[in-house]
């Protein structure tokens, strides 16, 4: 599972991150003992920046619909499109 917060920009460092205590559990005490995170994000930051994109669709679902309609040539078209957000485990 994941979330998208519309309009949220990537925080430049852990100190300015609005979700540091809830998402990655880096609370104030952790940040006080790791001053290097005042100027950068942690290497294992769980927040992923989403590149500029158009409309996001369920391409796998669309491919199945096209197969059901015998329009399998769309598989190649959809497979050639860039992935904006990877599928979650188990989906």
pLDDT in tens, 21-75: 676 777 777 778 888 888 888 888 888 888 887 878 788 888 777 777 766 677 7
Statement: residue 91 has pLDDT above 60: no
Tokens 């925080």 label which residue? 11
Statement: residue 12 has pLDDT above 60: yes
Q: How many CA atoms lie within 13 A of 35 on its CB side?
A: 0
Phi, psi angle pair for 57, to nearest 5°? -130, 170
Q: How far apart are CA 19 and CA 72, in angstroms?
A: 43
Of 6 and 1, the one with more pLDDT: 6
- What predicted TM-score, i.e. pTM, was given to this entire model? 0.54
Q: How far is CA 33 from CA 11, 38, 51, in A?
A: 20, 11, 32
Statement: residue 9 has pLDDT above 60: yes
Q: Whose CA is closest to 77, among 63, 91, 87, 89?
A: 63
Confidence of residue 76 (pLDDT cuts 50, 70, 90): confident
Per-residue pLDDT at 72: 64
Phi, psi angle pair for 79, to nearest 5°? -65, -25
């Amino acid at each position: 599972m994941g979330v998208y917060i519309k309009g949220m920009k990537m925080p430049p460092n852990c100190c300015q991150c609005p979700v540091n205590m809830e998402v990655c559990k880096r609370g104030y005490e952790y940040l006080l003992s790791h001053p290097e995170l005042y100027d950068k994000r942690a290497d294992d930051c769980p927040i992923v920046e989403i590149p500029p994109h158009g409309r996001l669709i369920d391409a796998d679902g669309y491919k199945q619909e096209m197969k059901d309609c015998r329009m399998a040539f769309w598989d190649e078209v959809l497979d050639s499109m860039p992935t904006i957000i990877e599928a979650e485990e188990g989906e």
